Amino acid sequence: MSFAGRLGLQQRVIPAYRAGFLEALSKACQGGLNVFAGQPLGIEGITPVERLLGAKLVQARNWHFRDPSSALFLCWQRGFFSWLRDWQPDALVVEANPRYPATRLAIRWMHRRGRPVVGWGLGASELSGPLASLRRWERHSLLSSLDAVIAYSELGAEQYQALGLPSEKVYVASNAVAVAPSTPPLQRPGWFEGRPVVLFVGRLQWRKRIDLLLQACAGLHKSLQPRLVIVGDGPARVEFESLAQQIYPLAEFVGTKHGVELEPFFQQADLFILPGTGGLAMQQAMAHGLPVIVAQGDGTQDDLVRPGNGWQVVPENVQSLQDAMQDALSDPGRLRRMGEESYRIVKEEVNIETMVAVFERVLNRVIM
Q: What is the pLDDT of residues 155-198, one digit of tens each?
A: 999 999 999 999 999 999 999 999 999 999 999 999 998 999 99
pLDDT tens digits, one per residue of 13-48: 999 999 999 999 999 999 999 999 999 998 887 889
Topology given in CATH for the domain delimited by 7-178+351-367: Rossmann fold (3.40.50)
Average pLDDT of span 273-295: 92
Number of alpha carbons in the 13 Å side-chain half-sphere of residue 19: 12
Query: What is the CATH class of 197-348?
Result: alpha beta
Quick one: which of 276, 337, 346 has its CA closest to 309?
A: 337
Instruction: Could you list the beta-strand ranges (E) of 30-69.
Output: 33-38, 56-59, 61-65
Identify whether the C-beta of residue 270 lies closer than 8 Å to the C-beta of residue 337.
no
pTM, two decimals, is 0.91
pLDDT tens digits, one per residue of 39-57: 999 888 788 999 999 999 9
SS3 label, residue 338: helix
SS3 label, residue 201: strand
Quick one: which of 279, 287, 284 has its CA closest to 213?
A: 279
Q: Express as a percent the part of the chain with pLDDT over 90.
A: 88
- Kindly report, as residue ranges, where domains of CATH 3.40.50.2000 are found in the chain: 7-178+351-367, 197-348
Average pLDDT of span 217-225: 97
Average pLDDT of span 252-259: 93
pLDDT tens digits, one per residue of 335-365: 999 999 999 999 999 999 999 999 999 999 9
213: phi then psi, degrees, rounded to nearest 5: -65, -40
pLDDT tens digits, one per residue of 58-85: 999 999 999 998 989 999 999 999 999 9
